[in-house]
C-alpha cells in the first residue's frame, strides 16, 4: 500500500527534530505539495530544513504551539505561502514536570499541560478558523501510551496525554463530517524528549515492550502519514497505539 498525500499542504508542530521532523519527511516523500514545520526556536527549525533538503516545498516558521497569536500567525503564513492548509499534526510536546504528581512543582505542571493539552486546541482552533471550516481537512495529534495507562516518572505528562486522547474524540465529533481528527499513542521512542525513560539502560527499556524494541521516530511518522491520507478516509476519533505492544499487554500499568 503506497500511502500518498499528493497535492496536500501539511503543518507540523514540534518539528525541529525527532517525531515531528520524521513526520515532515514522511509527508514530503508521500507527495505533499508543501510542508510547514514550526517550533520554538528558528535555528533548530533551520537545522531540520537543511537535513530534509526539500527546497521550496518546505517552510520553517518559529512559534509557540500554545500561543494563540503564534498559532494564528503560523496558520495564516502557511496559507499565504502554499495556498491552503489541509493537514495539521499537533506534535509539539514537553515533559517539564517529571516525578510523582503529589510531589511535582505545579508551575512545571502548568507548562506541561499548556503545551500538551492547550497547544493542540489552540492550533486546531486556528486552522479551523482560517482554513478547515471552509475547506475541510485532517488533524492528527501525537498523544502517548501514557495517556492510556498510568506509569512511573512522568505523571503530569501522562495526564496531559489522556486529556489529548479525549480531546481527539471530542473534536472528531464536533468537526465531522468535513474534518477527520485522530491521534497516535507511542510508547518509548528514541527521542531526546523521552531520554529519561531509556537512555540509562536501553536494553531494559526495550525489554519492557512485548516486541522487545524501542520505537524510532519513523515508526510513528508512518502511522501519522497514513491517518492523514485518503486511505484512512473512513477513520476518525481513533487513537492508534504505536507502541511495540505495550497497550495490549496484560498489566494496567506501564512497565517503564
pLDDT digits (tens, 9 = 90+) for 132-141: 999 999 999 9
Please tell me the total count of domains within the chain. Answer: 1
Per-residue pLDDT at 201 = 81
> Of the residues 27, 82, 128, 157, which is catalytic?
157
Q: Is residue 2 part of a domain?
A: no
Which CATH number fits the domain that encloses residue 63?
Answer: 3.40.50.720
Answer yes or no: is 249 within a domain: no
- pLDDT tens figures, 22-67: 999 999 999 999 999 999 999 999 999 999 998 999 999 999 999 9
Which of 10-14, 42-46, 155-159, 193-197 is least confident? Answer: 193-197
With cut-offs at 50, 70 and 90, classify the pLDDT of residue 2: confident
In a domain, 251, yes or no: no
Residue 157 a catalytic site member: yes
Identify whether 1 is part of a domain: no
Whole domain around residue 30: which residue ranges?
9-243
Check: CB of residue 121 under 8 Å from CB of residue 167.
Answer: yes
The answer as to whether 153 is a domain residue is: yes
- 94 Cβ partners below 8 Å, 6+ apart? 111, 112, 115, 116, 193
Q: Give the mean model confidence (pLDDT) for residues 122-127.
A: 98
CB distance 160 to 117 below 8 Å: yes
- Whose grid coordinates read 521550496? 56
On whether residue 252 sits in a domain, the answer given is: no
The whole-number pLDDT of residue 8 equals: 98
Q: Does a structural domain hold residue 53?
A: yes
Residue 222 inside a domain? The answer is yes
Q: What's the CA gap between 225 and 105, in Å, rounded?
A: 36
Amino acid at each position: 500500500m503506497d500511502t500518498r498525500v499528493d497535492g496536500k499542504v501539511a503543518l507540523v508542530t514540534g518539528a525541529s527534530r525527532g517525531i515531528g521532523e520524521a513526520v515532515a519527511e514522511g509527508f514530503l516523500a508521500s507527495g505533499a505539495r508543501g510542508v510547514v514545520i514550526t517550533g520554538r526556536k528558528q535555528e533548530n527549525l533551520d537545522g531540520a530544513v537543511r537535513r530534509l533538503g526539500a527546497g521550496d516545498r518546505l517552510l520553517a516558521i518559529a512559534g509557540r504551539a500554545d500561543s494563540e497569536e503564534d498559532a494564528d500567525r503560523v496558520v495564516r503564513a502557511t496559507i499565504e505561502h502554499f495556498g491552503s492548509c489541509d493537514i495539521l499534526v499537533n506534535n509539539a510536546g514537553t515533559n517539564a514536570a517529571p516525578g510523582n504528581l503529589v510531589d511535582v512543582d505545579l508551575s512545571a505542571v502548568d507548562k506541561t499541560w499548556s503545551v500538551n493539552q492547550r497547544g493542540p486546541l489552540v492550533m486546531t482552533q486556528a486552522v479551523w478558523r482560517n482554513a478547515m471550516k471552509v475547506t475541510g481537512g485532517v488533524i492528527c495529534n501525537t498523544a502517548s501510551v501514557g495517556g492510556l495507562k498510568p506509569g512511573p516518572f512522568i505523571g503530569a505528562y501522562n495526564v496531559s496525554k489522556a486529556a489529548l486522547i479525549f480531546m481527539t474524540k471530542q473534536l472528531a465529533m464536533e468537526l465531522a463530517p468535513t474534518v477527520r481528527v485522530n491521534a497516535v499513542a507511542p510508547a518509548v521512542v528514541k527521542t531526546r524528549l523521552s531520554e529519561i525513560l531509556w537512555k540509562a539502560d536501553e536494553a531494559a527499556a526495550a525489554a519492557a515492550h512485548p516486541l522487545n524494541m524501542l520505537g524510532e521516530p519513523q515508526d510513528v511518522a508512518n502511522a501519522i502519514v497514513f491517518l492523514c491520507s485518503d486511505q484512512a478516509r473512513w477513520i476518525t476519533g481513533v487513537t492508534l497505539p504505536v507502541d511495540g505492544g505495550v497497550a495490549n499487554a496484560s498489566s494496567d500499568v506501564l512497565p517503564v
